[in-house]
Chain A
Amino acid sequence: EAGVTQSPTHLIKTRGQQATLRCSPISGHTSVYWYQQALGLGLQFLLWYDEGEERNRGNFPPRFSGRQFPNYSSELNVNALELEDSALYLCASSDGTGEDIQYFGAGTRLSVL
């Protein structure tokens, strides 16, 4: 069974540009979570999608947005990139039952120059 896949692996952008990160959940999983992990730091919750809808949002500005598609894959968009947006962005999926286990992808390393 394929795990959570994220693309691209690495992404290099310049300040002010926009970045799009993609995530494909484990087959059968309906929930997708996005986290930001700055170098050497913890996981900062960004967004939670379930059944195509945004269920919860972390303490991030509106230029961080996303969506979930009918096939449960998801996109994270970051507009007007700033240097401090440089981080590992992790996607996790779960079966959407609530008190469930999150399975993480390998992440997208975003570098903003």
Chain B
Amino acid sequence: GQQVMQIPQYQHVQEGEDFTTYCNSSTTLSNIQWYKQRPGGHPVFLIQLVKSGEVKKQKRLTFQFGEAKKNSSLHITATQTTDVGTYFCAGQTLTGGFKTIFGAGTRLFVKA
């Protein structure tokens, strides 16, 4: 079946280091969304990418959607302790009916 794989599962960084999480789909996506879940919280929508090759930035966060619309990445420049949490990608596809498939998430730990 359709899958969205996300790596790495965990990432420990020193504050100020960069961080990247990658998302790969087994099928072409119509769009991809990114969510952040703080420890003890619930997922909160960050951004949606729709176009092939699209790049969007939110302050220190850079989101990319691959040319084939099958992969995406989230890059954080100069991490801060406030970046701690789990980052989920969610791929949406219209194949066989509308579906949203969440990746397993990447848990980011930031050491001050």
Contacts and interface: CB of A to CB of B under 8 A. Distances in A.
Interface in B6-62: 30-31, 33, 35, 41-45, 48, 50
Contacts of B42: 90, 104-107
Contacts of B48: 99, 101
Interface in A65-113: 90, 92, 98-99, 101-107
Chain B contact residues, majority secondary structure: strand
B43 A90 contact: yes
Contacts of B107: 40
B104 A55 contact: no
A99 B45 CA distance: 13
Contacts, number: 51
Interface residues of B, number: 25
A35 B37 CA distance: 14
A42 interface: yes
Contacts of A102: 33, 35, 43, 45, 90, 100
B88 interface: yes
Interface residues of A, number: 20
Contact of A42 (B45, B98, B99, B102): B102
Interface of B: 30-31, 33, 35, 41-45, 48, 50, 88, 90, 92, 94, 97-105, 107
29 contacts: A41-B104, A42-B88, A42-B103, A42-B104, A42-B105, A43-B88, A43-B102, A45-B100, A45-B101, A55-B97, A56-B97, A56-B99, A98-B92, A98-B98, A99-B30, A99-B31, A99-B48, A99-B92, A99-B98, A101-B33, A101-B45, A102-B35, A102-B43, A102-B45, A102-B90, A104-B43, A104-B44, A105-B42, A106-B41
Interface of A: 33, 35, 40-43, 45, 55-56, 90, 92, 98-99, 101-107
